Chain A
Amino acid sequence: MQVKKIEDYIWEIPVTEKEGMRVPARIIASEKIMKEMDQGVYNQITNVACLPGIQNYAYCMPDGHWGYGFPIGGVAAFDLKEGVISPGGIGFDINCGVRSVRTNLILEELKPKLNELMDTLYRLVPAGVGSTGFVKLNIERFKELMVKGVDWCIQNGYGWEEDRERIEQGGRIPGANPEKVSQKAISRGVDQLGTLGSGNHYLEVQVAQTDRIFHPEAAKLFGIDRPNQIFVMIHCGSRGFGHQIATDYLRIFTEAMRKYNIKVLDKELACAPYNSPEGQDYYGAMVCAANSAFANRQVILHQVREAFSRVFHKDPKDLGMHIVYDVAHNIAKLEEHLVNGEKKKVLVHRKGATRSFGPGHPDVPAFYRSIGQPVIVGGSMETASYLLVGSQRAMEMTMGSTLHGSGRTMSREAAKRKVRGYELMKSMEERGIIVRAVSMPGLAEEAGIAYKNISEVVDAVDCAGISRKVIELRPVGNIKG
């Protein structure tokens, strides 16, 4: 496939490369990442470029790899009249995302209590297949939660008033329609609030690399104010509730495509016009899942605050456990972007990609508006994670989007052959990372060797200018679902 270098870190596949491409595809990557890029990405991102109503480009971020339908790391915006909405462009785990939390603690204070803390977190935050949360919901209350998201949690005592300001879209996206959610989705999700799930989801205790701050002004606003400061990161999504909504609508859309005479190159790209009854129904249901995912991370944070409070015998407020930010990285959002030089409202799909709004954008909380929206990039459990901020260049180049993680390079089976869960746990312990895992084979699958080098992918977006590095966070404790 012909790939042209547009400028450093920006590569383009022209529309002539595949029949049916409506826009070119663009990949953000360094030369090294491009060389090592999974071949499936090229095929998948050009398939996305064929979807009706796509605007500007089909984008792939440097952490991209072969997914289903869209590549992981894929971004595509659609016209609201002529364009589509696609569950495969969002992912089954609707609003899978990451939340970062600061504390007043430093590594030296944490160390003697780390084992006790990890045990307490492990008890308070259920993880793994089939786990259930402590919040008991009936259908009525669950429907209320789908609409109100984090507001529901705050009203019910699972959060602080200030929390909502530090979450993408306040943790409550308008347009939720619980009537468009199936009974199956409800019964799958009703008892899972406050659970981590499994796979690559985790709850991590981290130490900020405060001797190397890349953006001091942003670091200060993130609450980084002492050496070796302790942070917490929560990575999970909407659990079975979101998975079922995606499954239901994928099925509905395979039928709807016949009705609307839409043809796609991969059945997993099944879609419907956004402005159709099916498209609107999915949007309403998808927002229910997105709000429930924000609520899920909120209830988990409530438990994390409780765990820290028990172990350090202090109120979580005295421990300074403020949210830095919370981002969604599997979602479709209604946003305004430049299309052919003019501002236009579009539906941006991000699948394994994060919003990266720049300084001054009205959707960035007032608190952060001078530096841009915080971007949270979760690494593998053995390696660093990063905090970044969005940029004006992302608004111009990638429809306000950037990367989401490090990106997998090795299959789970291959990872399991290379490392054994128990040995990995021991070796991580020797390197100062305490692990509590529900499943040992599951742990081995998530070994650091299965992922791209996170520093390289983060450097690629920093150099491309679509977000700016603020600080690196190193793991010291990990709860693995």
Chain B
Amino acid sequence: MPNFKFLEDIAIADAAFEAYGDTLEELFETCALATFEVMVDTKHVKPKQKEEILIKDLNLDDLLFDFISELVYLKDAQKVFFSKFDLKISKNEEYSLKGTIWGEKIDYKKQEVRRDVKAITYHMLEVKKMDNGWRAQVILDT
């Protein structure tokens, strides 16, 4: 089960969440799902169309920022909500995120649409290794 929780006491006009993952990939996949949960009940978003993603960055904060930014961009440019993510993250000189994401065209008749996400912010953004996995904190502008 994706493990995330919305945080209510910070940046109250926006949407903040913390997410956990056993692996870095699981953490990023959970952050992606949480981002779309702000916009829609993702249970009703079927994995009908897919998109390939490739992002490279020197550090994990920027990698998460660029990954979520890409999802937010695709949502507007393609009018698609995404609900399934399969990512691979590797590290050589820099971090490389490669993967496939699946989703479905935005459809108010079939989906419980909530509110738009304008962007991910850098405010309090954090990706952190814990004793037993990974934790991230994200604030989205909505």
Question: Which residues of A does B touch, CB under 8 Å?
Answer: 38, 40, 65-69, 72, 88, 91-93, 128-130, 132, 184, 187-189, 192, 197-200, 240, 243-244, 246-247, 250-251, 254, 266-268, 270, 408-414, 438-439, 441-442, 445, 481
Q: State which of A189, A267, A411 has its C-beta within 8 Å of the C-beta of B8.
A: A411
Q: How far is the CA of A129 from the CA of B106 in the complex (A)?
A: 8
Number of interface residues of B (CB under 8 A): 40
Set of chain B residues within 8 Å of A92, measured between Cβ atoms: 118-119, 121, 141
Given the known interface contacts A130-B75, A441-B112, A441-B114, the answer about A254 and B119 at a Cβ–Cβ threshold of 8 Å is no
**From B123, which residue of chain A is reached at the shortest CB distance?**
A68
Q: Nearest chain A CB to B97's CB is how many angstroms away?
A: 15
Q: List 7 A-B contacts (CB under 8 A).
A: A69-B122, A129-B40, A130-B76, A243-B141, A266-B122, A411-B12, A412-B142
Nearest CB on A from B65, distance (A) = 7
Chain B residues close to A by CB (< 8 Å): 6, 8-15, 39-40, 61-62, 65-66, 69, 72-73, 75-77, 79, 106, 108, 112-116, 118-125, 139, 141-142
Which one of A69, A187, A199, A240 contacts B123 once the chains associate, using CB atoms below 8 Å?
Answer: A69
Which of A92, A129, A197, A267 gathers the greatest number of chain B CB atoms within 10 Å? A129
Distance, CA A308 to CA B39, complexed state (A):
32
From known contacts A247-B69, A251-B65, A438-B108, infer whether A129 and B113 are also in contact, taking CB-CB under 8 Å: yes
Q: A68-B141, A268-B121 are in contact. Are A408 and B13 (CB under 8 A)?
A: yes
Q: How many contacting A-B pairs (Cβ < 8 A)? A: 130
Instruction: Establish whether residues A408 and B76, one from each chain, have CB atoms under 8 Å apart when the complex forms.
Output: no
Contacts of A439 in B (CB 8 A): 108, 112-115
Q: Which residues of A contact B13 (CB under 8 A)?
A: 65, 67, 72, 200, 408, 412
With A66-B12, A251-B65, A251-B66 in contact, do A128 and B142 touch (Cβ < 8 Å)? no
Of all chain B residues, which has the CB nearest A414?
A: B8
Residue numbers in B under 8 Å from A38 (CB-CB): 12
Q: Are B12 and A199 touching (Cβ within 8 A)?
A: no
| Chain A min CB distance to B137 (Å) | 12
**A181 CA / B108 CA spacing, docked (Å):** 31
Contacts of B79 in A (CB 8 A): 130, 132
Min CB distance B113 to A, Å, is: 5
Tell me, rounded to whole Å, the shortest Cβ–Cβ distance linking B130 to chain A: 21
Known: A68-B141, A266-B122. 5 other contacts (CB 8 A): A69-B123, A254-B62, A411-B9, A414-B8, A441-B114
